[in-house]
Structure 1
């Protein structure tokens, strides 16, 4: 069994590996709230959106941007099957949304880090995305083209956001 400290350290290491300057933002941590669920995970997404919006690269395009409230973020998220989480997270970190031929990370780096993050949250982890698989739509959470993958084991979380100019 993996200790809480090892899970947290592992998730943070994966987040650091998956993040890229200006385009892919990733946060990982441990919830402080009792019995966290989707609203607490959406709140972490809101914090990541605020971090992105504060980045000088994006701030000038959306001055005064404030992330949507938690209920709107919850409504934008769709369940993602656990077996789809690692490939989806790796693709979010590696392949540019706007220019799919552009790579942010080498595929093997993204695959390894995403697989490790999913493994650390375990087979019972819950995963969410802003992509609606039934119709192919994306429920945008920012003023830009964006993609989100977020997961939790009920104690720890990882949230990844890729943004591209609209």
Structure 2
């Protein structure tokens, strides 16, 4: 599949996962040669800045500045590719604070998440701000947040859910 086709597919699929003021997404193609985790962290930082600028969250984050790329890298834990689609679908569909509340129908979230993971391929790398071994979350904001970021080394896809109690 051509890079432009992958990019268009990623953009469409992550857009299906977004919900106003709760699930923020981004997809794109790296411009740097040989991008790695620091470049992905810069894209995550830009997404966090989008959340902080959103009128819905500005009052909760009055002096918030997104962490540096190095700090974001320190918060990230690897996610196995075979677990990425289920994680992404949960992130888009299930509320962090109220698990009985759905932001999206589960089936729609699963289809879009499967597509994102498929487009980044079996060799894609996935990262979350969760430590699956102990269940801890390395918060990127002062609120509740959950992030999944994936890359195939050329393209990236990000999804972030934010919530406040």
TM-score > 0.5 by shorter chain: yes
SS at 1:28 equivalent: strand
Q: Point out where structure 1 has 5 or more consecutive residues left out of the alignment.
A: none
The residue number in structure 1 matching 2:133 is: 134
Deviation readout 1:53-76 (Å, 9 max, x if unpaired): 100010011113110000100000
The residue number in structure 1 matching 2:99 is: 100
Deviation readout 1:103-136 (Å, 9 max, x if unpaired): 0000011000000000000000000001101111
Would you identify which runs of 4 or more consecutive aligned residues in structure 1 move more than 4 Å? none
- Structure 1 Cα separation of the partners of residues 123 and 30 of structure 2: 17
- Structure 2 Cα separation of the partners of residues 156 and 87 of structure 1: 20
The residue number in structure 1 matching 2:152 is: 153
- TM-score if structure 1 supplies the norm length? 0.98
- Structure 2 Cα separation of the partners of residues 30 and 47 of structure 1: 14
- Structure 2 Cα separation of the partners of residues 138 and 132 of structure 1: 6
The residue number in structure 2 matching 1:118 is: 117
Deviation at 1:3, TM superposition (A): 0.8
Q: Point out where structure 2 has 5 or more consecutive residues left out of the alignment.
A: none
The residue number in structure 1 matching 2:66 is: 67
The residue number in structure 1 matching 2:44 is: 45
SS at 1:51 equivalent: helix
- Structure 2 Cα separation of the partners of residues 100 and 16 of structure 1: 22
CA RMSD, Structure 1 to Structure 2 (Å)? 0.6
Matches within 5 A, 1:23-38: 23-38=22-37
- Structure 2 Cα separation of the partners of residues 128 and 62 of structure 1: 24
